Amino acid sequence: MKIYVDADASPVKDVVCQTGQTFSIPVVLVKSFSHFSNAEELEGVKTVYVDEGADSADYRILQLAKHGDIIITQDYGLASLALGKKCTVLHHKGFQYTNKNIDQLLQTRHLSAKARKSGQRTKGPKPFTDEDRKKFHDLLVRTIERMQSK
């Protein structure tokens, strides 16, 4: 098992890296070259850089991930494709994408995009809070424990 993070805009990279270390699970941060850093990585954490294309990180994650891996993303499209590969997919706000909720999430995204295209204003995401961070951490730990007990 590995944990892949769609890392360009992820507010939980640090949580994932620390949790990965705690459970001795390799973590792969996938981000564009525009976010390049020379910072030393934690043990068990690897960064993969991709071109700056709109979906470059998504495609790379899908190429690397295998059945049974965990993917952290806020991208519903990537989540949908990763579910098809039998990966466990988590959102940084502390919920798991499932085959039961992905269609509704994609539909909502489509309707919001359609509204924006017609000139309507839509609300953006709510700010990420400490409560969201704790909720995500708890979900990640429960998910790993459940997967390791199988």
Q: Range with the lowest mean pLDDT among 47-56, 70-79, 138-147? A: 47-56
| Residue 137 burial (CB count, 10 A) | 16
The pTM for the full model equals 0.86
Task: Read off the pLDDT band of 143 (50, 70, 90).
Answer: very high
Task: Tell me what pLDDT residue 109 has.
Answer: 64
Binning pLDDT at 50, 70 and 90, where does residue 108 land?
Answer: confident
Look at the chain and report how many structural domains it folds into: 1
Strand, coil or helix: what is 150? coil
Give the pLDDT score at 84: 95
Q: Are 10 and 30 in contact (CB under 8 A)?
A: no
pLDDT at 82 over 80: yes
Per-residue pLDDT reduced to its tens digit, 6-35: 998 899 999 999 999 999 999 999 998 766
What CATH number corresponds to the domain at position 114?
3.40.50
| Host domain of residue 32 | 3-149
pLDDT at 105: 78
CB atoms within 10 A of CB 51: 11
* Structure token digits, residue 50: 């991709």
Residues in Cβ contact with 133 at an 8 Å cutoff, skipping those fewer than 6 apart: 11, 12, 15
